[in-house]
């Protein structure tokens, strides 16, 4: 019979070393044989082996890649690829020299647009890829016979539109494409320039129908605005959400030529067009009127965060810029230079905000000479990382300029990915990418000088978290990070190789062990306790408190995030036992 039971809990945690490179998986690296056996991944002259990799919610990653030592030389050296995590393999989706549907020729390149150098693409959660491609009919006479947006997948390649093809309204023929976005249902949104005649080549906004991929023109420069005689003068869009809506910044003909560009904010679908902000509207808070829309980002609830330059403010250039939110209730001020509620500081310079589907906004801003990273919403503001805070590994964050703290990304759980420069580091490792959660917990993703693949990282590139000129700064489904906290990035190593890598956030530490109960079930001792997801729990015991080896009892149990029971079978009869629980986190 159990006369006395003493339970002693020792929480022994086994934490992985995320700074030293654990948690990073190599997807593909220069020198690997081509997927179809024709050549090896690598560069013949200059540029990158891989470019503009993006990720979706299942962990698939899409990217372009170049190959050398190929049978066709220049004419088969580039391809479009998809990493499939279920089978842990890279699939070739399309390649130069392959027949291009919708044309009489073969694929000649996979590019960001017909006049852009850097490729960029969008990947939705169905594994579809939207990207521009060019094609030619004869490799000896590379005159374009097809150039335009395509919808790629493992199952099919669909041509959406082509240069020299008729536009949906039969105004003329397409001349150029740019700024692609892709929704999860396969809808695409992009700009197209239509040549009506040699003196009239306007830009227009186009959206496909998800059912049959038919194309609709929702507006064109020179068209009349809804219920107005004013016309569209300039347009810019920032993506399509998963409900088929796009956010548009635009000029119209209601003012004189001296006004700022992109004065108005609109939301549109293939069936609707609505103006949300007009230049001259009074800004929320009453300090100024809207003069220019400078950036906008839309989520799946049709909420739009945007930045705007203001006129007629109380302090002139000191408070003439702000960040605002449009939702079903109207327009709200999130932050304004010199008067930012909730942060405890007057912010003077703002960066580009990003918003998730829960209405949380990631923002980099400066107060005086220094900057920080903020998490904002309609009703709250929180400083997560400040200039001078310690960075994982070594050094402190240097947020003195936009070059030291560039773009960022936020996922739906509120994790923020950002790139930042570091101070107090003198070994060349003074720049890195990091993820911080809403509680301020920081993890390093990748850092210059970090050991990787038997070499060290010389440079890295993350879509949307690097240069402001990168593609992916607001176009639909161009994500560097998913809701699981996976970050996909490109890295150039010191030995000259390029590679594609996926970093996975370490699991959060389990909650402090808290025993709910200790009980006896027939002859078993049963311990009930709360657990964390990703950890394993092993009940152990010994006969004396301060001596002897711990012996495992029962099988280890995986944490569920809820309460579990650990059992010592056939513990009775016994005089006295001491117990602990070994808590172990995964290594990657």
- pLDDT score for 547: 85
Residues 364 and 220: their CA atoms lie apart, in Å, by: 34
- pLDDT tens-digit readout, 424-453: 988 888 899 999 999 899 999 999 999 999
- pLDDT score for 586: 65
Does residue 359 contact residue 301 with C-beta atoms inside 8 Å?
A: yes
- pLDDT score for 467: 39
Neighbours of 108 (CB within 10 A): 24
Give exposure, 399-424, as e/b (b: 16+ Cβ within 10 Å).
beeeebbbbbbbbeebbbbbbbbbee
Q: Give the residue, 299 or 580, on which the prediction is more confident.
A: 299
% helix / strand / coil in the chain, to the nearest 5? 0, 50, 50
Residues 447 and 452: their CA atoms lie apart, in Å, by: 10
Domain positions in the chain? 6-16+509-584, 31-214
Q: pLDDT-based confidence at 406, cuts 50/70/90? A: low
List residues bridging with 246 in a β-sheet.
240, 268
- pLDDT tens-digit readout, 48-105: 899 879 999 999 999 999 999 999 988 899 999 999 999 999 999 999 999 888 777 8
**DSSP secondary structure, 375-404, as one string:** EE-SS-EEEEEETTPBPSSS-EEE-SSTTT
Q: Give the residue, 473 or 296, on which the prediction is more confident.
A: 296
- pLDDT score for 148: 87
Phi, psi dihedral angles at 543 (to 5 degrees) = -80, -25
For 286-359, strand residue ranges (E) read 289-298, 304-311, 321-327, 330-336, 349-350, 354-355
- Which residues, at least 6 apart from 246, have a Cβ–Cβ distance to it below 8 Å? 181, 189, 205, 207, 237, 238, 239, 240, 267, 268, 269, 298
Residues 414 and 437: their CA atoms lie apart, in Å, by: 6
- pLDDT score for 171: 93
- pLDDT tens-digit readout, 529-575: 888 877 889 999 888 888 889 999 998 999 888 889 999 988 877 77
pTM for this entry? 0.83
CA atoms within a 13 Å half-sphere pointing along the CA-CB vector of 181: 27
- pLDDT score for 402: 53
Mean pLDDT taken over the chain: 83
- pLDDT score for 255: 60
Whether pLDDT at 190 is above 50: yes
- pLDDT tens-digit readout, 192-206: 999 998 888 898 999
- pLDDT score for 145: 60
Most confident of 17-31, 211-225, 258-272: 211-225
Does residue 83 contact residue 101 with C-beta atoms inside 8 Å?
A: no
Q: Percentage of residues in the chain with pLDDT exceeding 90?
A: 45
Mean pLDDT of 20-32: 83
State the Cα torsion 32-155-125-442 to the nearest 10°: 0
Whether pLDDT at 4 is above 70: no
Mean pLDDT of 133-155: 74
- pLDDT score for 147: 80
**DSSP secondary structure, 27-74, as one string:** EEETTPBPTTSSSEE--SSSS-SEEEEEE-TTS-EEEEEEEES-TTGG
Does residue 252 contact residue 223 with C-beta atoms inside 8 Å?
A: no
Lookup: tokens for 502? 């996926």
Q: pLDDT-based confidence at 272, cuts 50/70/90? A: very high
- pLDDT score for 57: 96
- pLDDT score for 381: 84
Q: Among 215-219, 252-256, 306-310, 323-327, which stretch is predicted with the lowest mean pLDDT?
A: 252-256
Give exposure, 67-92, as e/b (b: 16+ Cβ within 10 Å).
bbebeeeebbbbbbbbbebeeeebee
Yes or no: domain 6-16+509-584 corresponds to CATH 1.10.10: no
- pLDDT tens-digit readout, 169-179: 999 999 888 88
- pLDDT score for 118: 46
CA angle (51 as vertex; 46, 54 as ends), nearest 5: 170
In terms of Cβ atoms closer than 10 Å to its own Cβ (0-12, 13-18, 19+), residue 316 is exposed
Strand 524-530 and strand 515-521: the pairing is antiparallel
């Amino acid at each position: 019979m159990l006369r006395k039971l003493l339970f002693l809990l020792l929480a022994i945690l086994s934490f992985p070393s995320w700074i030293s490179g654990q948690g990073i998986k190599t997807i593909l690296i220069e020198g690997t044989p081509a997927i179809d056996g024709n050549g090896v991944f690598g560069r013949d002259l200059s540029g990158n082996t891989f470019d503009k990799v993006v990720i979706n919610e299942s962990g698939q990653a899409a990217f372009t890649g170049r190959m050398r030592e190929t049978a066709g030389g220049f004419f088969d050296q580039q391809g479009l690829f998809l990493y499939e995590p279920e089978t842990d393999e890279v699939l070739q989706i399309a390649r130069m020299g392959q027949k291009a549907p919708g044309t009489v020729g073969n694929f000649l390149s996979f590019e960001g647009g017909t006049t852009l150098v850097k490729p960029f693409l969008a990947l939705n959660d169905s594994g579809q890829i939207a990207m521009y491609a060019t094609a030619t009919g004869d490799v000896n006479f590379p005159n374009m016979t097809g150039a335009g947006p395509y919808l790629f997948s493992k199952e099919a390649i669909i041509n959406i539109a082509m240069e020299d093809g008729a536009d949906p309204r039969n105004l003329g023929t397409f001349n150029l494409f740019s700024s692609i976005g892709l929704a999860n249902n396969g809808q695409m949104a992009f700009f197209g320039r239509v040549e009506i005649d040699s003196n009239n080549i306007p830009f227009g906004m186009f959206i496909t129908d998800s059912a049959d991929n038919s194309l609709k023109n929702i507006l064109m420069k020179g068209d009349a605005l809804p219920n107005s005689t004013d016309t569209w003068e300039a347009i810019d869009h920032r993506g399509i959400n998963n409900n088929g809506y796009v956010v548009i910044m635009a000029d119209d003909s209601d003012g004189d030529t001296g006004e700022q560009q992109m004065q108005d904010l609109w939301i549109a679908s293939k069936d609707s067009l609505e103006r949300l902000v007009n230049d001259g509207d009074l800004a929320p808070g009453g300090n100024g009127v809207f003069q220019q829309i400078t950036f906008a980002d839309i989520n799946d609830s049709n909420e739009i965060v945007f930045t705007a330059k203001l006129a007629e403010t109380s302090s002139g250039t000191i408070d003439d810029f702000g960040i605002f939110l449009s939702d079903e209730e109207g327009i709200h001020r999130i932050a304004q230079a010199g008067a930012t509620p909730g942060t405890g500081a007057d912010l003077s310079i703002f960066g580009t905000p990003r918003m998730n589907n829960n209405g949380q906004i990631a923002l980099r801003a400066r107060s005086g000479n220094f900057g920080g990273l903020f998490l904002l919403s309609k009703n709250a503001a929180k400083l997560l990382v400040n200039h001078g805070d310690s960075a994982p590994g070594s050094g402190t964050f240097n947020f003195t300029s936009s070059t030291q703290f560039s773009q960022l990304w936020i996922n739906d759980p509120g994790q923020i990915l950002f790139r930042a420069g570091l101070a107090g580091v003198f070994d060349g490792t003074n720049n890195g990418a990091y993820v911080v959660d809403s509680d301020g917990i920081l993890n390093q993703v990748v850092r210059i000088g970090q050991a990787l693949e038997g070499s060290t990282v010389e440079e890295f590139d993350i879509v949307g978290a690097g240069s402001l000129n990168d593609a992916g700064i607001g176009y639909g489904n161009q994500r560097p990070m998913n809701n699981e906290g996976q970050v996909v990035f490109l890295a150039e190593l010191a030995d000259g190789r390029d590679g594609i890598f996926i970093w996975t956030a370490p699991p959060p530490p389990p909650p402090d062990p808290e025993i709910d109960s200790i009980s006896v079930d027939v002859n078993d001792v049963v311990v009930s306790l709360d657990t964390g997801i990703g950890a394993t729990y092993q009940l152990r015991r010994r006969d004396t408190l301060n001596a002897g080896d711990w012996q495992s009892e029962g099988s280890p149990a995986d944490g569920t995030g809820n309460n579990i029971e650990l059992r010592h079978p056939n513990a009775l009869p016994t005089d006295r036992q001491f117990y602990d629980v070994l808590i172990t986190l995964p290594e990657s």
